[in-house]
A and B are shown apart, each in its own frame.
Chain A
């Protein structure tokens, strides 16, 4: 009975539940450092979850997703900055600044997506990379508006939220709500329309679906959630810089999703835990982080292409084979 339940039930709720409890308990670890790493895991995890809407569910790979993360980060930073300078940062202004990132990133994704969804495969990948780099250069060189390479410094959250602990729980609350919303979307009829598109584009068109509209809507949703993640980043790191839009940042959700497993909703979150924790830990010993993560990616691609959570599928398959 239990065995057959294990075979049938969607593993996402238990995995999410375990992760949720771990995140709730994380501040019990001593020191400020786990809070910093934890907040980063959550923000980048949300970023990666939004990316996987395009990759795992729609079957296209975007190498420019950081553009929307960065757009969100800059939107809230540019709204927060004058309030902080005037010493008038309150909760309402702060929340509005975060919320504003969502429509701005969504709008950015609408424009970029309008072009990208005309293509698939490597052409989609190249075009998304090109647009990402284009937005990076715009932010980088528009000094009067974005302060260019200097970035925007001195960002913060208002009063109580300034505490690392409170900001951690605030981030946790936002990310949990966003993740639940994303999960709902992936299980909706639209979520299955995406899977159909991933599996067989021509057939989907024959069923009577305008493929480009599906891709565009999904691109915009993914951009909006990436923007929300980006908005949380500035007050956490106290600054934003053009690198947040660059290709290096676009690689982050790709790596996380690959490590955790793109076929599982929680995969990118698991990937974020491993990637971010490793990053925090490894960089204490060596400055060769790219080399380390590069070797890990190489190992994953060669030996565990489905990501860590695919181990669960392996168990299931063996049970099913043993059962019948």
Chain B
């Protein structure tokens, strides 16, 4: 490879810096660490972790959620979850989301971010596309809309009789009259996935643009001088340099895909879509908690959800490490 190996250079420098700092525990350093870690952690532990830990205890009970009484039932709730065919169905739907949503969103937003930042002239300094800020600003718009509103809006767009989609398809001469996009098992999931991606791409596009702008210009210059084309530059400079951002995005999207509550609940109010084809775990959890009054069971589902998410994150970190990510995963 004729390109300078960027990560290696930076890693070396960073490790050296860290090494040298570790040696002397000055007052400056101790006070710094205490304040910088102590305050955020204290708030976090009291208002997030502690309530979650209490909630975890509920998962071992038969608590209804409303009454002041409950009994401990050990791991019964966990055992029962895996005999609940609806929960298992929801789990498999979440797995589909988990595979598709992060992949498509990350790839699409990476492509768009690359077009915006390095789509300009191939000569001289790396330049963004002319007037590209318009695209960046516009793409972000969906993220500003509350998910509930997005659900209502797209519900109308997919409407069989008066919706934008069927209207457009019919205008093109295709006969889609009365086709219920959200009412058929073979389209409901994919239509929902599209809505989710629509809502998220702008977010990650902006994030990746920020990441790409943080890359020292010299790396691009060097690649140029070495005669690397645009595609090559993107693959060998951009992606490795914003690797941690991509990993973060992937994990966060995965967390979202394992939840997906607001989108699914607003696209399919009160139900799990046609033949439960869009039912997700968090919906099942919500129904169990509030309609069935089995809060203990619902909390156990929440714990499973959290474990699944952590497992997924661990997997992403592992993959990043195996493919040569900087400093490997943090897990």
Q: Are A and B bound to each other?
A: no
Binding site for A on B (CB under 8 A): none
Binding site for B on A (CB under 8 A): none
